[in-house]
Chains A and B, each alone.
Chain A
Amino acid sequence: MAAAVSLKSKPPQGEAKVWLTAMGLALGIVMVAVLLGLILVRGTQVFWPKRVLEITLREGSASGSGPVLGEVMVRQRNVRTGVEEWLVHFGNKSKEDPGTSYRFVASGDVVSTREPLEVMVAERMEYGDAIFYPVRLTTRDGKVMEAADVDFPAALETALEKAGGERRQLLALERKEIGRISKQLVKLENGIKTDPSRETTNRAAMAVLQADYEKLAEQARGLRAALTKDVLRVRVASGGELDQPVGELLHVYQPNKLSQGGRLALAFQQFFAFLSEAPREANMEGGIFPAIFGTFVMTILMSLLVTPLGVIAAIYLREYAKQGLLVRIVRISVNNLAGVPSIVFGVFGLGFFVYTIGHHIDEWFFASALPTPTFGTGGILWASFTLALLTLPVMIVATEEALGAVPRGVREAALACGASKWQTIQRVVLPASAPGVLTGVILAMARGAGEVAPLMLVGVVKLAPSLPLDLEAPFIHAERKFMHLGFHIYDVGFQSPDAEAAKPMVYATTLLLIVLVVVMNLSAILIRNKLRKKYAAGTF
């Protein structure tokens, strides 16, 4: 019975360690969940239209005096002074007062608040949001409409749509037509440089283009003037009135009149605008479409570069190289490459791809454009190459493991059928290891899409004038600089003049970066699962 007694008296061995492992996992999950939750909540809050309060401040208080209009973003207690304070979004920045649109207001200074129904929020082309009471609209055909009129909202909407159309026309004119002319002018100028005999003909052609340019510029001036013709008279909280050209407004809404459904619809509308528009105002306003697109194109390009490179390297290492000291050293080195700081890869990319290869490409193929570099400067191609190098170790390791996992029996079967070693690898081993290779692609994409530091050296810019893929021949512009969500987060969060206004943008951009990476990974995982089903090992 001694055995039975000892069994009973002994505490269960290892139970505590099981709990320890579970705690480790739980801690990890909680941290990820909290981070994602924070980003999700803060990132989506940006788009939710808040109620606007008219806050009456105590006369002569530090926060200001008299009535002001603003959206209360946060109510918090100041950690240093212990005073409760509100973070209020006042908007209404202007040329004369370009400061910040967010200010803290001590709650003790607030005399009263109310929610005026007629208050209006407008997103402007410049200086962010404006918050005001509409007074009257004077349209270009001389009609005057008071804000109290039944037709006022419809008339304002019409004026806004007309302005939007004119802005688009203006943009098309400046970007496409005038851009085309200036490109041709540069070309002709370069032509004269390389071949002085063409001077007279080129000068004549340039004069014709110059005349075209004058005509287009005149058209643009007309459009710009038209944009100032409709005028909305507005009253700010303090009582002063001023004229606001409708042409400067993107869209308006009356937050305190909106129903819950209307709010939701508006939130979605703002979200899609954020997704699809280009940034304005030094990236503080507008959308982030170029950054999303740049990140996407770069990640895809990187995957296309790293996959063949990694697979070929892994095939040689695993299948052909004689296993020995040298191969062991190579393998350790490859694994250690994964630990090299990414900025080092950036420096290498700059030195090797941009300054060496890019410079030579320019000398051989784009000599006429020199000294303006084409490939001899950062661009999406070099950024993708740099990140492909950065993610190569991940790819090699994953592929090697996948190759090693292909059963010996299958290889032998192929060889016994008279296949050569290469045919065996190509027709049997590689297809069977495709799911593992895709795991490598997934890991590489996750790593690559989140990198920022090396990109800053090899092609990312704060604001790219054009996308790396567009409808202009030759459609793929591998030499163009591009925008990237990761860099955008850094730029908006740490390089912008209005820190409080930047915060929500940072959260929203982070959210989108995570969503983009998740979506790309999910599609790769879907493909992998399909392949897995196809190549599942045969069992009895």
Chain B
Amino acid sequence: MLLAPSEPRSQSLEAGKGETLDPAYISVRNFNFWYGPKHAIRDVSMDIPEKQVTAFIGPSGCSKSTLLRNLNRMNDLIDGVRHQGDILLGGSSLYDPAVEVISLRKRVGMVFQKSNPFAKSVYENVIFSLRVAGRNKKSELDEVVERSLQGAALWDEVKDRLHESAYGLSGGQMQRLCIARAIANRPQILLMDEPCAALDPIATLKIEDLIQDLKKEFTIVIVTHNMHQATRCSDRTAFFYLGELVEYDTTGVIFSAPRQPQTEAYISGLFS
């Protein structure tokens, strides 16, 4: 059983009403981003729809991860960055001074390339976001742990060792634990930064299946180097090159009839 439907997402519906049939849940508006002098993202505009999987593909260094990490303002941690343009989440700006980064990150969960569980038990790992939010009711935590681990297809494997160290898990299990941790607090959006890059094919398949389940509940943005993965699990695909958004369409169009020659060259493996 997956997550129960979360609270109505009124903001996003309002924002999407007047624009398109498919409400643009995340919308990036003329976004530019610099690491010091380096112009990393060049004038990107795109709309990412709700409850779909959107894949970012592109060669290394094309700033797809940078854009992803801007969606929960993780790049704020780096010294010397600045941006121009805006990113709207359900109609309201991420960079609005009234937005609290902490509450933003509660709405936008993130899974990293390298699994990074905490040096705590499996149980404590999953409920970390609840703990920091000050929610400590045992019955609620137990429920969240079971639901999140089932959501991450890990419950059956770890239900007997919830209170053992998370470092005892295998690499694939750790990554699914990180997914469980990211969805524990029921975010609206789940960002995945090459979640399968360090995993073997079987673990990768498990996580791809999981993504298909998760999209019923969450809006998922995934960065991947693996084009097969993009075709297998995404609904829409965006191709980035040298900090620019080259092409953005449904996955079927991108991989069968790309309009841009660069896209075609990339997906046919002429460069990477």
Q: Taking beta carbons and an 8 Å cutoff, which residues of A are in contact with B?
A: 407, 409-410, 412-420, 423, 427-428, 431-432, 534-538, 540
Interface size on B, residues (CB 8 A): 32
A417 touches B132 (CB 8 A): yes
Complex CA distance for A534 and B38, rounded to whole angstroms: 41
Inter-chain contact B118/A414, CB cutoff 8 Å: yes
Cβ of B156 to closest chain A Cβ, rounded Å: 21
Task: Say yes or no: is B112 at the interface (Cβ < 8 Å to chain A).
Answer: yes
B118 adjacent to A428 (CB under 8 Å): yes
The interface stretch among B58-66, B177-185, B217-225, B229-237 is B177-185
CB closest residue in chain A, given B166: A538
Whether B103 lies near A418 (C-beta < 8 A) is: yes
Encode B80-120 as 1/0 by CB contact (under 8 A) with A.
00000000000000000000001101100110101111111
- B128: contacting residue among A419, A534, A535, CB under 8 A: A419
When distances are taken between beta carbons in the complex, the residues of chain B under 8 Å from A428 are: 118-119
**B129: A residues at CB distance < 8 A:** 417-419
Q: Is B77 an interface residue (CB 8 A)?
A: yes
Q: Which residues of B contact A536 (CB under 8 A)?
A: 119, 167
CB pair A419–B132 under 8 Å, yes or no, is yes
Known: A413-B178, A417-B181, A535-B119. A540 touches B131 (CB 8 A): no
> Is B165 on the interface with A (CB-CB < 8 A)?
yes
B198 interface residue, CB < 8 Å from A? yes
Q: Are B119's CB and A534's CB within 8 A?
A: yes
**Assembly CA distance A416 to B115 (angstroms):** 13
CB <8 Å contact, B74 and A417: no
A-B contact pairs, 13 of them (CB 8 A): A412-B74, A412-B110, A413-B118, A415-B74, A416-B105, A417-B182, A418-B132, A418-B185, A419-B102, A535-B119, A536-B167, A538-B116, A538-B117
Contacts of B119 in A (CB 8 A): 428, 431-432, 534-536, 538
Chain B residues within 8 Å of A415, by CB? 74, 77, 105
- Is B53 part of the contact surface with A, judged by Cβ < 8 Å? no
Q: How far is the CB of A460 from chain B (nearest CB, A)?
A: 41
Answer whether residue B188 sits at the interface, using C-beta atoms and an 8 A cutoff. no
Give, as a whole number of angstroms, the nearest-CB distance from A408 to chain B: 9
Cα separation A538 to B167 with both chains bound (whole Å)? 5
CA A417 – CA B105 in complex, angstroms?
A: 6
CB atoms of A540 and B171 under 8 A apart: yes
Residues of B contacting A417 with CB < 8 Å? 105, 109, 128-129, 132, 181-182, 185
Measured between beta carbons, the chain B residues less than 8 angstroms from A414 are: 118, 128, 132
B152-195 contact mask (Cβ, 8 Å, vs A): 1 or 0: 00000000000001110001001000100110010000000000
User: Which of chain B's residues have a CB closer than 8 A to the CB of A432?
Assistant: 118-119
Q: Is B251 an interface residue (CB 8 A)?
A: no
A540 / chain B contacts, CB cutoff of 8 Å: 115, 171, 198
Q: Are B132 and A427 in contact (CB under 8 A)?
A: yes
Q: How far is the CA of A534 from the CA of B165 in the complex (A)?
A: 7
Q: Flag if A418 contacts B106 (CB, 8 Å).
A: yes
* Chain A neighbourhood of B110, CB < 8 A: 412-413, 416
Judged by a CB distance under 8 angstroms, whether B205 is at the interface is no
Most buried by B among A410, A418, A428, A536: A418
- Contact at A420–B102, with CB atoms within 8 Å? yes
For B132, the chain A residues whose CB sits under 8 A away are 414, 417-420, 423, 427
Measured CB to CB, the nearest residue on chain A to B169 is A538
Q: Say yes or no: is B133 at the interface (Cβ < 8 Å to chain A).
A: yes
* A410, B116: Cβ atoms closer than 8 Å: yes
A423 / chain B contacts, CB cutoff of 8 Å: 132
Q: Cα distance A534–B121 when bound, in Å?
A: 10
Of all chain A residues, the one with the shortest Cβ separation from B111 is: A416
CB distance from A105 to the nearest CB of B (A): 68
